[in-house]
Structure 1
Amino acid sequence: MLVDLWPPYGLTIVTPTVQLRLPREEEIAAPADVAAAGVHRADERPFLTPWAEGDPADRARTVLQGHWDGLASWRVPAWELGLGVFRAGEPIGMVSLRANDFPIVREVVTSSWLGLPHQGRGYGTDARLGLLTLAFDHLGARAARTEVFRDNHASQGVSRKLGYVPDGISVDARGDEALVSDRLRLTREVWTGRPRAAVTVEGFDACRALFGL
């Protein structure tokens, strides 16, 4: 079976409102269609990924290529776990957890997007909670980082709610524009000291070797 060869297909994270799991090949077009319909309003630019450029098919292909690239390029020294966010069995977005030299550094980076109709309902917070539960409680991470544009108030709010603190800035190029993001950091000490909703993680033990554990 496919899950025997690639155990992350058996990894499932369940939060109070959403389920995170790796979409099967026959499923990946569905979250791509969610992105095609839009992940932010036309007057916003909350992501480094230029979601506003091109047409809906371009946005869908960005999701497909990112999904396939994460699977094809996985190595213990540098991996990215991209998971679909499902609500009542239907995809509403995607999240990712990535790391370099994780067995030594023990730090992860998170990123996410949700389709416009699903924003502002707490699903993004729960999806991040699921990723962080995997990172801290199962992978044994020491810290989690994220980078957020200063005017991306929704993502900034999620990070503050979960206990992230400022950790400097990053500057990235998008075309001819230099974009400044706040770099935010959540440590294991803060994570373990905060109350949070229950999250269930299944199928992780079979994945340990892929993470270098």
Structure 2
Amino acid sequence: MRNRLFGPVAASIAALMILPALAGAKTIEMGDIPSTVKPTCPRVKKKCNAVTRTTVYPSSVGTNHSPMVVPRNGRLVAWTVKLGTPISTDRKWFDKNAGGVSQAKITILQRVKGGGARVVKQGESAKLQAYFGKTAQFALLKSIYVKKGQIIALTVPTWAPVLAYGFDNTMAWRASRAKGQCGVSDYLTPHEQLAVKSFSTYYCSYKTSRLTYSVTLIPAL
């Protein structure tokens, strides 16, 4: 069962404004996460796996090679994250070494001719720690108009336990890191795209794991 948890009071008010519109609208849940998929944190092999200081999007989920590519023009109204449950030791370590408390926001990317992607829009950031171990949905304070072909990414300026492991090579995702900066030693170096018009090659690709976020799209009529 999904827990529909909204952040601050402002976000709750936004949710109340959005819900009546959703009642009569057809929605698409892009990247919907099955109940069987669970973030790999707490620890597996003495590690708590988390996305750190980067912008990410899934490039392959089984036979779907464009799971976060907008299928038609419309408006994003909410985003959802399925979060792991890091133990206190891991939370303190990430808070200290990955730039602060766990948080994330939605980022809209436009592919660039020749490779890479540029930020065209972003949502507001949400702190995640209060929702560890749950599936939390955040209503956007203002819906975001998106165009067919754009990519809906997740920007993590600090860290977020939104990675599930244990899959084959048909599960893959990309991060806003450059060539030569894809290794473990680069994970704590800031590569996140925080500004509109910022560009990244998205060179780094990671397989056998899945990002656990999704977004709610209302297609244009």
Is TM (by shorter chain) over 0.5?
Answer: no
More helix by share: 1
More strand by share: 2
Q: What TM-score, normalized by structure 2, do the two folds share?
A: 0.29
Higher relative contact order (CA 8 A, sep 6+): 2
